[in-house]
Structure 1
Amino acid sequence: MIRTALPADLDAIAALHAEARATYYRGHIPDEAFDSPAEHAQTRENWAAAIGRGAVLCAEKGGTVVGVAAFREVEAFMTLTQLHVAPDHWREGIGTALHAACVESWRGAGVSDVRLTVFQHNARAQSFYARRGWIPDPDEPRAGDHLVLRLTVPPAAQ
């Protein structure tokens, strides 16, 4: 089930975020950059703010949050800021369902173009986004060690 995240989901979302990020950052950047008390506190603060804005969707399975997506306007561009699925639930269609819910939300809001950044070493995520129509941003293909991707929101199916 995909639903809007609630403040009560904060701990589960922050833990899921930390677990998912460790899978693609570990071995590529120092662990302290994603797995330190300060980083976990900042992550929790950022998720609390995003939940407060109402722009966080979560996937729930058996009463447990197993996926999360967040988006907001950044520099006048709608941006998918986060999309994570608990590693124990990869390949179950949860990311696909979250992505589809985001696209529906953007479409409903009249958003035509969206961007995101993905870690350059996260081939799994890059493949996921490519299968959903994301392409390298022609104006800004890189942001540091992240690739910038863009999606033209497809029209609603008739």
Structure 2
Amino acid sequence: MIRNARPGDLDTIAALHTRARATYYRGRIPQEEYGGEAELARGREAWARAIERTEGGVLCAERDGAVAGVAAFRPVDGVMTLTQLHVDPGHWRHGIGAALHAACLDAWRERGADRVRLEVYEHNLRAQAFYAAQGWQPDAGHRAGSHLVLWLEVV
């Protein structure tokens, strides 16, 4: 089941986000940068703002009554942007990411978005393969630091 996030989901979302990020950052950047106390507090605060925000959305995927995935999007500089899409590693390969992505597409269509942007960590090959399967195309001329820029035409 896909639903809008609620304030009571905050701790669950923040913990899921931390577990998912660790899978692609571990061994590539210092642990403090993705799992240190200051970063965990920053991430939790960012998720709280995202849940409260009215111009974007945060969607939760539930499986067996628990949050198993989360996606967030919002306009950034006038462009709809998928800012986060994470599936709890214990739930990978069960269609949760695809269901979240489909729900995002519906939300973007409702908002009149015709093109969506995202950034994906250059070493996160699993995510890159997922996005390619969903139709995202790389912007060969642009990077955002250690992240690749991808675009999706919303049809």
TM norm structure 2: 0.96
Match of 1:92, SS?
Answer: coil
Shift of 1:97: 0.1
Matches within 5 A, 1:33-72: 33-54=33-54, 55-72=57-74
Letter aligned with residue 24 of structure 2? Y
Shift of 1:75: 1.4
Matching of residue 12 in structure 1 with residue 27 in structure 2: no
TM norm structure 1: 0.95
- Distance in 2 of aligned mates of 1:134 and 1:148: 10
- Distance in 2 of aligned mates of 1:33 and 1:110: 36
Aligned residue for 1:145? Answer: 146
Aligned residue for 1:92? Answer: 94
Q: Which runs of 5+ in 2 are unaligned?
A: none
- Distance in 2 of aligned mates of 1:132 and 1:75: 24
Match of 2:24, SS?
Answer: helix
Letter aligned with residue 26 of structure 2? R
After superposing on structure 2, the runs of 4+ consecutive aligned residues of structure 1 that deviate more than 6 Å are none
Cα RMSD, aligned residues only: 0.9
- Distance in 1 of aligned mates of 2:145 and 2:42: 21
Number of residue pairs matched by the alignment: 153
- Distance in 1 of aligned mates of 2:139 and 2:114: 14
Provide the identity percentage: 63
Matching of residue 81 in structure 1 with residue 83 in structure 2: yes
Shift of 1:108: 1.1
- Distance in 2 of aligned mates of 1:9 and 1:63: 12
Aligned residue for 2:105? Answer: 103
Aligned residue for 1:126? Answer: 128
- Distance in 2 of aligned mates of 1:100 and 1:153: 11
Match of 2:74, SS?
Answer: strand
Match of 2:81, SS?
Answer: strand
- Distance in 2 of aligned mates of 1:114 and 1:137: 12
- Distance in 1 of aligned mates of 2:84 and 2:52: 15
